[in-house]
Amino acid sequence: MTSPSILPSYRKIDVRKTLIFIAVITPVLVGNVLKIQGAQINVDATRVLHPVSPYLTGACIEDVNHEVYGGIYSQMIFGESFQEPAPPEPIASFMEYGGSWLLTNNVLFSTASPGPKLMNSTVNQSSGDLKVQMRFANEGGDAGFIFQVTQPGAGADRFNGYEVSLSPGGAYVVLGRHRQNWEPISQVPCAVPLNQWIDLEVQYTNAAFSVLVNGSNVIQYTDTQHPLTSGQVGLRNYQQDVQFENFQINGAPVTFSYDANNWPGAVSGMWMPFTNGSIIGQSSVETSNPFVGSQSQRITVTSGTGRFGIANRGLNRWGMAFVGGKDYEGVLDVRADAPTPVTVALESADGSMVYAQTNLLVTSNNWQNLQFSLTPTTSDTNGRVTISLTQPGSIVVGYAFLQPGTWGRFQNLPIRKDVADGLIAQGITVLRYGGSMVNASAYRWKKMVGPRDRRPPYNGTWYPYSSDGWGIPDFLNFCEAAGFLAIPDLNVNETAQDLADFIQYVNGPTNTVWGAQRADDGHPQPYNLKYVELGNEERVDNTYYQKFQALATAIWAADPNIILVVGDFSYHQVITDPFSFSGADSGITTLAAQQQILQFAKQQGREVWFDLHVWTEGPTLDSTMASMFSYDTALASISDGAKFRVAVFELNANNHSQKRAIANALAINAIERDGRLQVTTSANCLQPDGENDKGWDQGLLFLNPSQVWLQPPGYVTQMYSATDQPQQVWTSVMDTNNDFDVSAQSSQDRKTLVLKVVNSSSSSKSAAINLAGFSLTNPIAVVKVLSTSLNAANTAGNPSMVSVVQTNWQYHITNNAVNYTFAPNSVTTIVFEGQVARPAVATVRASASGVEPSRISSRKRLTTKSE
């Protein structure tokens, strides 16, 4: 997965037209097809084309937007190892949301980071006049005002409001709207010289505003589409070092100054200090003898009565969910110069109510692992956990852990039960654990084993203080317990010996070094892992081949049954010549390295897979789908008999709405009809609600601290998984507007026939469904429909606004045909019961990718190693 902002532009094509055209010209007699007017869906149940893999309804889980660290991981504390740097003294009358805000002589300096915000806490208005002077030292990102702001939080796009920013690198002023996302409205060329003070002004009334740069009116706009009419005001930068001075709100100067009275000292970034009573305390970051990483947190009380300590409210301080009467388990790794009592409590957001607390005694200056259990008296979806002192003393906290008891975890694993249950209910059949997170230099599997608190934090691809508390072994445990096929992705820069050790860890006996480590980690039996991916979205060239060869040699020596997956990328143009093409996101123009990999795998007598990523932004498919099929065909032409497959481990988009659901359905339909791919997973598996600071707003299953809910693309997974059948049968579509797309399967006993139909039209549309060779025995068909406006999605407040509607359809059949009216913008599954009228005829049809009949017939159903 790469950032959407750097993806190249490309011309979209409609793959469905290619597939439908081929189906139509295939000779077939189905009733009086040519005499019937209107759209027609033709199905010949006697013509079995190929097996259908059960692993086309998978998901890709990656820690982008905190799918794991703040998502599925049962750890409720975010920042458990205290690695986030402490912010400086707070700016008086402002609330900081990320970044570093420093003052020198009333000049405010904000360092480059992904979207920090400084919100004025005294102003909340519908109309105003904002002025500020800004100075840039480099051509980085952009910076400016945000206004009409509500629901702010840490993260680039975590707020609702308007933004007006200057870009020295792009020489423009940009106006955009945020609704927990980024919606650009206008971008106007504008001189933004370096090392000069520039005047920026915004005059606004409700959703109508004027933007002035150095006194010149450059933008006038009234938002009639999604007006935001009142809120706070603030400053923001995005990947830019910038200085601010002479800030004015409605003509009144705003003085920047530190608020020393409300600053009890340095506290690691995801924690907040608090004081209760007359107690005098101080906090500081301890870099000497840290528990893990580079720092730990010191808390000191010198005098007074009450409590002084630190509080944590979970991911980006969104609040912890407590269930009254249920137990919670915790751990503190802590030390103290002298015996010191410490209190751990579960509280309301402001600390006014304490739901549960326990007292622990720290007795040593060596690190102690103190375990505790708390049972809150009251339920609260917006709580916090606190660590505090009530009497003079000093402690250093290195690690803090809190999770629900066994009641709230999936099969006693460190996994939120509601999230796991949601994935199972969604119908996930395969999980890939990978993505750009594996490309971080410190992403190494050996750091993910052993005691959870001792696993080292690292600078991750998506978060600079990533946790190894939940890693590949935890992923394998989850997949095993949930019944999912597991495919982990590893960094291609791991050493050959380390990956040989990995295979020993996952598949070796306990009398080996790493098999024994697996047993110590709580899993005596081998995982029987079969698939391992090497890298993600790599430039597959000779450099990659050299790495692959070294790693594959070691892995296959450790376990010859492992199937390795090459982490390739996306292709935007159909490949006709394997050694001369364009449109690859990685920049390669030849499949020469892929050919080397195939030759090496053949020499070793092994099978190798290639992972391509396809865009399903919707509502139509784009060029990456046709290019993916052509890639498979190109590999076949250069494979020289090597065993291989192509897989799609990321269906990607920038949205989680109905249009993406339609595109996902189109992609799976096309893959089912083609018959070559055995695994398809959609990204992203999960998304914490409102957490989209990395640009990937495409979660299938959303979550917050107290609930989970499906988005429209997740319902497509559920619908398709629930109706999965093992045999693809012949279909064609006659439709003047090309609005319909169809895939059909039958059961092994030939008594169940499933149609998966996409209607891309914005209006209801009828079609005659011609069923050849299938005698209906049940007058009622089960129909499931997902239909809504293209941009509709579910929210925490209305999690079922978009959902599947199931009906029992009592159809009327005439001349082997039934008529059905498909809802607009819909994905529909229809399950018929009956029997094949005559023996199945083995049939192979040409496909858009030009696959040879011999290759289709030789493909077998995917199995796990244990099978």
- pLDDT tens for residues 615-641? 999 999 999 999 999 999 999 999 999
Sign of the CA dihedral running 563, 565, 571, 575: negative
Does residue 433 belong to any structural domain of this protein? no
| Overall average pLDDT of the 109-123 stretch | 90
Q: Are residues 159 and 214 in the same domain?
A: yes
Residues 663-693: tens digit of each pLDDT: 999 999 999 999 999 999 999 999 999 876 6
Q: Are residues 230 and 370 in the same domain?
A: no
Q: What is the pLDDT of residue 90?
A: 83
Q: Are residues 122 and 255 in the same domain?
A: yes
Q: Are residues 37 and 148 in the same domain?
A: no
Residue 28 pLDDT class (50, 70, 90 cuts): very low
830: enclosing H helix or E strand: strand 826-836
Written as six digits, the tokens of 279 are 């107690």
Domain boundary among 407, 441, 456: 407
Sheet strand arrangement including 393-404: 280-286, 296-303, 393-404, 328-336, 368-374
Does residue 612 belong to any structural domain of this protein? no
Indicate whether 291 pLDDT > 50. yes
Cα(678)–Cα(694) distance, integer angstroms: 30
Helix axes 496-507, 542-558, angle to 10 degrees: 40
* 591 or 839, greater pLDDT: 591
CA distances to 274, 303, 311 from 277, in Å = 10, 11, 16
Q: Are residues 30 and 177 in the same domain?
A: no
Cα(533)–Cα(290) distance, integer angstroms: 35
Q: What is the pLDDT of residue 842?
A: 45
Residues 519-558: tens digit of each pLDDT: 999 999 999 999 999 999 999 999 999 999 999 999 999 9
267 close to 300: Cβ distance less than 8 angstroms: no
Q: What is the pLDDT of residue 838?
A: 62
Q: What is the pLDDT of residue 867?
A: 32
Domain boundary among 387, 407, 427: 407
Residue 839 pLDDT class (50, 70, 90 cuts): low
Contacts of 657 (CB under 8 A, 6+ apart): 618, 711, 712, 790, 791, 792, 793
CA-nearest of 328, 334, 342 to 384 is: 328
CA-nearest of 517, 78, 454 to 290 is: 454
Cα(688)–Cα(315) distance, integer angstroms: 9
Could you tell me which residues are beta bridge partners of residue 103?
Answer: 108
Phi, psi at residue 96, to the nearest 5°?
A: -95, 135
- Least reliable range by pLDDT among 96-100, 702-706, 804-808: 96-100
Written as six digits, the tokens of 323 are 């269930």
Q: Are residues 212 and 282 in the same domain?
A: no
Number of domains in the chain: 3
CA-nearest of 330, 397, 384 to 74 is: 330
Cα(147)–Cα(819) distance, integer angstroms: 53
- Least reliable range by pLDDT among 410-424, 656-670, 747-761, 846-860: 846-860
Phi, psi at residue 662, to the nearest 5°?
A: -65, -45
142 close to 188: Cβ distance less than 8 angstroms: no
Q: Where are the beta strands (DSSP E) in 616-684?
A: 643-652, 680-682
Residue 735 pLDDT class (50, 70, 90 cuts): very high
How, if at all, do strands 780-787 and 826-836 pair?
antiparallel
Q: What is the pLDDT of residue 173?
A: 96
Indicate whether 4 pLDDT > 70. no
Indicate whether 34 pLDDT > 60. no
Q: Are residues 48 and 98 in the same domain?
A: no
Q: What is the pLDDT of residue 863?
A: 34
Does residue 511 belong to any structural domain of this protein? no
Report helix, strand or coil for 485: strand
Residues 744-775: tens digit of each pLDDT: 999 999 999 999 999 999 999 999 999 999 99
Cα(149)–Cα(231) distance, integer angstroms: 4
- Least reliable range by pLDDT among 11-15, 56-60, 277-281: 11-15
| Overall average pLDDT of the 83-112 stretch | 88
| Overall average pLDDT of the 446-471 stretch | 95
Indicate whether 157 pLDDT > 90. no
The helices-and-strands tally (H runs, E runs) of the chain is 11, 49
| Overall average pLDDT of the 473-493 stretch | 98
Q: What is the pLDDT of residue 104?
A: 86
Q: Give the number of other Cβ atoms within 10 Å of residue 227's Cβ.
A: 13
Does residue 491 belong to any structural domain of this protein? no
Residue 115 pLDDT class (50, 70, 90 cuts): confident
Q: What is the pLDDT of residue 841?
A: 46
CA-nearest of 449, 460, 444, 560 to 499 is: 444
Residues 236-290: tens digit of each pLDDT: 999 899 999 999 999 999 988 888 776 778 999 999 999 999 999 999 999 999 9
HSE value, Cβ hemisphere, 13 Å, CA-based, for 75:
26
Written as six digits, the tokens of 861 are 């159903």
Q: Are residues 227 and 347 in the same domain?
A: no
Contacts of 600 (CB under 8 A, 6+ apart): 545, 548, 549, 552
Q: Are residues 270 and 365 in the same domain?
A: yes
Average pLDDT, the chain: 91
Residue 508 pLDDT class (50, 70, 90 cuts): very high
1 close to 699: Cβ distance less than 8 angstroms: no
- Maximum Cα–Cα distance across the chain: 94
Cα(47)–Cα(772) distance, integer angstroms: 10
Q: From the CA atom positions of the chain, what is the Rg in Å?
A: 29
Give me the count of residues in the chain.
Answer: 867
Domain boundary among 234, 260, 286: 260
Does residue 608 belong to any structural domain of this protein? no
Could you tell me which residues are beta bridge partners of residue 307?
Answer: 276
- Omega of the bond leading into 382 within 30 degrees of 0 (cis): no
720: enclosing H helix or E strand: helix 712-722
Residues 234-248: tens digit of each pLDDT: 999 998 999 999 999
Indicate whether 3 pLDDT > 60. no
Q: What is the pLDDT of residue 652?
A: 96
Domain of residue 209, CATH code: 2.60.120.560
764 close to 832: Cβ distance less than 8 angstroms: no
Does residue 636 belong to any structural domain of this protein? no
How, if at all, do strands 774-776 and 826-836 pair?
antiparallel
Contacts of 106 (CB under 8 A, 6+ apart): 245, 255, 256, 257
174 close to 213: Cβ distance less than 8 angstroms: no
Residues 168-199: tens digit of each pLDDT: 999 999 999 999 888 999 999 999 999 999 99
Cα(546)–Cα(596) distance, integer angstroms: 10
| Overall average pLDDT of the 80-85 stretch | 95
* 708 or 856, greater pLDDT: 708
Q: Are residues 291 and 370 in the same domain?
A: yes
598 close to 639: Cβ distance less than 8 angstroms: yes
Domain of residue 788, CATH code: 2.60.40.1180
Q: What is the pLDDT of residue 165?
A: 97
Q: What percent of the chain has pLDDT over 90?
A: 84
Give whichever of 1-10, 11-20, 132-141, 398-407 has the largest mean pLDDT. 398-407
Q: Are residues 221 and 287 in the same domain?
A: no
Where would I find the H helices in 100-194? Answer: none
Cα(688)–Cα(115) distance, integer angstroms: 18
Cα(565)–Cα(562) distance, integer angstroms: 10
* 834 or 2, greater pLDDT: 834
Cα(30)–Cα(734) distance, integer angstroms: 12
Using the CB atoms, write b or e for 90-128: b if 16+ within 10 Å: bbbebebbbbebeeeeeebbbebbbbbbbbbeebeeeeb
Cα(813)–Cα(185) distance, integer angstroms: 52
Residue 89 pLDDT class (50, 70, 90 cuts): confident
- Least reliable range by pLDDT among 8-17, 600-609, 704-713, 791-800: 8-17
- Omega of the bond leading into 619 within 30 degrees of 0 (cis): yes
Does residue 625 belong to any structural domain of this protein? no
Q: Where are the beta strands (DSSP E) in 337-433?
A: 340-348, 354-362, 368-374, 380-389, 393-404, 430-433
How, if at all, do strands 208-213 and 127-136 pair?
unpaired
Q: What is the pLDDT of residue 1?
A: 52
Does residue 820 belong to any structural domain of this protein? yes
Q: Are residues 772 and 751 in the same domain?
A: yes
Written as six digits, the tokens of 757 are 């139909």
Q: Give the number of other Cβ atoms within 10 Å of residue 3's Cβ.
A: 11
Give this prediction's pTM: 0.84
Cα(59)–Cα(514) distance, integer angstroms: 29
Domain of residue 396, CATH code: 2.60.120.260
User: Domain of 741?
Assistant: 13-53+725-858
What secondary structure does DSSP assign to 767-826, as a single string? EEEEEESEEE--SEEEEEEEE--TT----SSSTTSS--EEEEEE--EETTEEEEEEPTTE
191 close to 180: Cβ distance less than 8 angstroms: no
Q: What is the pLDDT of residue 858?
A: 27
